[in-house]
Amino acid sequence: MSDKKKKSLGQRIKKALSGLKMSHFILLILLLLVVAGASTIGTVFLAATSGMPSLENNDITEYDVTSYIVDKDGSFVEKLADNSNFVDVDSNEISENMLNAVTSIEDRRFYKHHGVDPIRIAGAMVANLKAGQTVQGGSTITQQLAGLALLDRNEKTYKRKIQEAVLAIRIENKYSKDEILTAYLNRCYFGIGLSGKACYGIEAAANDILGKKASELTVTDSALLAGLIQNPTYWSPITDPDNAKVRRDTVLQAMADSGAISQDEADQYKQEPITTASIVQEDQNEKQSYNQSYIDYVVDEALEVLGLEQDPSKFYTGGYIVHTALDQDLQEYMYDYFNSDYYFPSGASYDYLQGAMVVLNTNDATIAGMIGGRHQEEGQERGLNRAYQTTRQPGSTFKPIFDYGPAFEAGKGTGTVYKDAVYTTADGHTIKNADLEYHGNVTIRYALEQSLNTVAARCIEEIGPEKGLEFAKKCGITSLVENSDDGVTDATISAGLGGLTKGVSVLEMAGAYNCFASEGIYTEPRAITKITNEDGDIIWQEEPESHRAMEATTAYMVTSCLQSVVTDGIGRYGAISDGRPTAGKTGTTDNTKDLWFCGFTPQYVGAVWLGYDTPATIYSTSDAAARVFSSIMSHLHAGLDVENFQEPDGLTAVTVDTKSGNLATRSTPSAYRSTEYYKSGTEPTTYSTNSYSSYQYSSGSSGSSASGTTGGTGYGTGTGTGGTTGYGTGTGGTTGTGTGTGGTTGYGTGTGTGGTTGYGTGGTTGYGTGTGTTSGNTGYVGQ
């Protein structure tokens, strides 16, 4: 033989060996038995089969089953799909034509071998050597099934091929040929169907490629689908009909060679063109678009708890029943509300104003409803969910979390007084109130009611921003920056005003506010309560992460102040329609680029954010977010019992002078008296020494008709008919100063008919001589 021929033959052998499928390694093992001896082969065999799956713990007849989500009542929410289509069928639901086609092309000796076919392996090796490349495989259908059902399909090693062979023999001993072939056809991947989904199993392929059932497949249909198994992309009839016809005709010829059909029939069938047909598959459980934001979160949560982030398909086709806390009535209402432009303001952007909301059950922090955006594309899956995937600056909604919660933990009370005036921090930063108005000494309650920035800044600087950061972390805020490499930190006064490095998510804010509603206990918000299989066996049970974030007394004091925000402060639009106890806080960032409202009742917590994806000015105030909260929560609470927030042990309520923070005295005007809460043992014990003679008073806003002049005070003896409070001697009342018919209080000389408080000039307040005819509230012009 010439060197040229020797070289050519050598190259052919080298090429054939390099392209040799690993399944052919089994034959090499047989040769090694002769060459290396039983001892060496035993070692190789034991190493290859170590860690191999056991049939005792695996059933090849259990196929991938689509997972489902159910709501809080166990009602269907959605069938999950990872862009795939799977339907399993019994053996009697598969056409005989399909059985003949797949055995003819994949394993002609299927009914004769016992899992491994040495004759097939040897024949494949000879054919591949002659061709100089891989043209035939040596694996039987049973070996392929073992790989599909029990082994890692991505592993391409000799060890895997040996394991396939061993498992195939065991499968043949345990299952009938009919069960094996049915299991194989239910597991095969047939490529992408007309729906755009991946088809797993013969029924899905028949439906999505040919518009038929597996039981209806003709000879040509069966040859077409059987030909897809080894390379469904290359031979797809949808993307390349010409290639598909070549492969189909190859299968038809194989059927003729095996005797399944005659040669004349094969020749006749080869003349038929390739046809596909789209179908509309009816789904008894129609997908509801209003659930999509919630479903997206459930999928992410399920992948995490099941440890399937790197292999989502196992979740979608694992037959899981995912039980959630979803309230579908609430979810639908939220979806419709957020997609109505009537309820949302405009702004300096041509895009839709976006929004997000999370509603939690206060008793266990489970998510009852979630909206991740407005006007999202119909049917969009796994899109941007602004409820938990984005962070924005929280504005003043962060004050209870970063400022006042830590202050109460440190021994402050709701009546602790701080000065409301322009404040300059130690680093020279000037803090002002949003409305540029200031009120002198005020309580923490009043500062929260009116969202006074200067008080929040003074408070957190006194307590220490580090304590604010630690408190917020305990409340579940995970996006805070502590100590970055470049020195950036959120342990700042700015953070106490809602200016954070990264911002917070709506879900985080809902979880943090739930601490206040739940007597200081933080429970990580979650949608899933448990995951079971179709038989109801629990696969995963939620054990919520809970810890005490603050003392119960702290939570109640914050809650009490936040109730005042809704009843008397800037959060009035967050009130629920039936007037039930509600606590909440507004939030607005610079140039009104973000609007927030976070609030709660004893039953539910709600957090609302409005803004543009690319921040731009919104032509509104935080009232817009408060209205969203009010509407959603009013719908949710309709028909529910009215519950009150429960005051915990360890609190003491005292009446304080709101200008000094000390205990009020008899001389403290009613407008400066307020009942406030303190952790027992921290309440003030010193009485106020404030003298209110130096304050100037203005007439009350409710007074309607009055005349008189304000002047100095006059304390003398007079008659007070029906009056409650005063100085001197009076008839019909406790005491009186001057004449106050029917009036509660009178200072100086004057007549106040029907007035609640008469300090002279008519109406509600004033010092001096005057006449008042209509009762009023009280109005003071003071510090």
Token readout for 257 is 């060679």
Q: Which amino acid is at 432?
A: K
| Tokens standing for residue 415 | 């009546």
Q: What tokens appear for 667 in the block?
A: 């001389």
Read off the tokens for 43. Answer: 């070692």
**Nearest C-alpha neighbor of 653 from the set 725, 777, 567, 556:** 556
Q: What is the largest CA-CA distance in the chain?
A: 141
Spot the catalytic one: 104, 396, 451, 699: 396
Ramachandran sector of residue 307 (left: φ over 0; alpha: ψ -120 to 50; beta: rest) = left
Residue type, 286: E
Q: Is 424 helix (H, G, I), strand (E, B) or coil?
A: strand
Contact in structure between 279 and 207 (CB atoms under 8 Å): yes
Neighbours of 382 (CB within 10 A): 13
Rounded Cα distance between 184 and 172, Å, is 13
- Pair 412, 656: CB distance under 8 Å: no
The question of whether 106 is a catalytic residue gets the answer yes
3-class secondary structure, 252: helix
Q: How far apart are CA 760 and CA 567, in angstroms?
A: 30
Cα–Cα dist 206/87, whole Å: 10
Nearest to 606, CA basis, from 574, 577, 581, 649:
574
396 is catalytic: yes
Measured from the Cβ of residue 756, the count of other Cβ atoms closer than 10 Å reads 22
Q: CB 121: neighbour CB atoms within 10 A? A: 24
Length of the chain measured in residues = 783
- From CA 495, how far away is CA 181, in angstroms rounded? 65
Take residue 597 and report the two structure tokens written for it: 């409202």
Query: Which residues make beta-bridge pairs with 585?
Result: 598
Catalytic residue among 84, 95, 104, 106: 106
- DSSP class of residue 739 equals -
* Alpha-carbon torsion, ordered 22, 26, 32, 33, to 10 deg: 160
Q: In sequence order, what DSSP letters do the residues of 628-685 get, joined into one string? A: HHHHHHHHHHTTSPP--PPPPTTEEEEEEETTTSSB--TTS-GGGEEEEEEETT-S--
Distance, in Å, from the CA atom of 144 to the CA atom of 138, rounded to the nearest integer, reads 10
What residues are labeled active site? Answer: 106, 396
